[in-house]
Chains A and B, each alone.
Chain A
Amino acid sequence: MSEPDNPRWLDQVSEELREEVPVRAVWRTRLLAEIASAPRPGADDPDVRFEDSSDTIESKDAVELSRGSVWARRIVLHPFAGLAAALAFAAIGAGAMYVMMARGGADATGAKNAGLASSTTDPGGASIPAADVTADQSVVRFELSAPSATRVALVGSFNRWNPTATPLARDPATGKWTVSLRLPAGRHVYAFVVDGDVTADPAAPRAADADFGSANSVVLVSGRSS
């Protein structure tokens, strides 16, 4: 395997490849004659005319050209430019999806009386469960009125029942603890942990699943699968 390391050998191969391939003059003449006699692209379209002197195209109907019937151009894209374009499109798509979800979530949290996905203990607001949204995910607002509590967390099937994963924040003005979560479509079981005690959401449907003590609550997020 010493040949590829020899620069002289490489030069010889390169020179040989660069040499012009001999073509008979008769063949060359015949080929050029064939090309000259071939019909021009778009020649039978009266709206399109190619100028011999340049690459410009004149047309009475630009729409026809935009359909690509007679126009072709090769675009060479650098691989990194292609990757950047793909990422840009993905980011735009993700951004658009996020905006749509955020709108759906805002509707869901704002429309308590329509019975959308919002967990609240506010007696004036119709609470919980089925989010009437078509997206596969919806922002669900969980709310608990516990003015004397010092720490409230949310545990459920969506956070592995991890009491440190989803703490609620207290609104000093109302004494209500709230958190908003984006949940996938489906039926989710959850409970609040109030100063270490597990308690069901008083405003939500109960689940008949008291295997380990108190029952849990249910929130439904509607979507294609539910």
Chain B
Amino acid sequence: MKRVALIVLLTLGPTSLLAQDRSIPTKLAGPTRASLQRLIDSAGVAGLPVDPLYSKAQEGVFRGADDARVLAAVQRLARDLGDARATLGDSASAEEITAGANALRAGVATIDLSRLRETRAKGRHADQRLTVALVVLADLATRGVPPSLAAASVTELVARNVPDGALISFRQTVERDLLDGRSPASALDARTRAFIDDAERRRP
């Protein structure tokens, strides 16, 4: 019987091991935990992804933040997730909503997110998710590139049907230019043009 139990554990182990832990850290005070649970439950009822909210609370405890700060961070994230979902539409995946919320947090305007979504919907890769483009956009804005410029560049690349893999390379080259001391606007402009030229050359 022990052998049978072992086989079952080995069979189920790899998948169950990776399940997202949806628990609020017990280090937080009871009232804080109750407030967080209500907030997360409301977000879930509203159709927002809740895993990032649990993760935010867990991160806050790991980093030694006090209860008020953890609660404020989770509230802010829930608000951003709601705004991102409203902007990206009901069909957006949990990852798109989370990445969209992160882009909003980085300073990207909701109108720019809407434009990016519409551009992708009209393009050759309309069936693909927008997650990578949103992650690249948030990263550029976080690194000091003016959010409106970053949004314009990423939207332009998406409009030229630049694939996700090339968007990742685009982010890396801009990052390298920034590390080399180039100004964000100049680095972005030069790299955007280079990637558009490349996309045009590869056009069938």
Contact = CB atoms under 8 A, between A and B. Distances in A.
A57 interface: no
B165 A212 contact: no
B58 A160 contact: yes
A212 B59 contact: yes
A218 interface: yes
A212 B73 contact: yes
B154 interface: no
B58 A226 contact: no
Range for the number of chain B residues in contact with chain A:
35 or more
Scoring A155, A212, A216 by chain B CB atoms within 10 A of each residue's CB, the highest score goes to: A212
Nearest to A159: B21
Contact of B63 (A130, A184, A208, A212): A212
Interface of A: 83, 87, 90-91, 94, 98, 101, 114-115, 126-130, 132, 137, 155, 157-158, 160-163, 182-184, 186-187, 189, 198, 205-209, 211-213, 215-216, 218, 220, 225-226
Contacts of A115: 165, 168-169
Tell me if B's interface is mostly helix, strand, loop or mixed: helix
Interface string B123-147: 0000001011001101101110000
B163 to A, nearest CB: 10
A187 B131 contact: yes
Contact of B168 (A91, A130, A160, A225): A130
Contact of A211 (B20, B60, B141): B60
A186 to B, nearest CB: 5
A220 B52 contact: no
B95 A186 contact: yes
Given A208-B106, A218-B138, 7 more contacts: A87-B8, A91-B11, A94-B14, A130-B132, A208-B142, A209-B56, A211-B56
A98 B14 CA distance: 9
Contacts of A189: 52, 55, 59
Given A126-B172, A212-B73, A161 B143 contact: no
B94 interface: yes
Contacts of A98: 14
A157 B62 contact: no
Contacts, number: 133
Contacts of A101: 14
A91 B8 CA distance: 8
B51 A157 contact: yes
Interface in B59-95: 59-65, 69, 72-73, 76-77, 93-95
A98 B17 CA distance: 14
Interface stretch (B33-41, B96-104, B114-122, B194-202): B96-104
> Which 5 pairs between the two chains have the least Cβ-Cβ distance?
A208-B106, A161-B62, A205-B139, A211-B73, A157-B55
A226 B58 CA distance: 23
A158 B18 contact: yes
B46 interface: no
B156 interface: no
Nearest to A189: B55
A114 B136 contact: no
A129 B132 contact: yes
Nearest to A128: B168
A184 B61 CA distance: 24
B165 A225 contact: no
Contacts of B135: 129-130, 187, 205, 218, 220
A33 B131 CA distance: 77
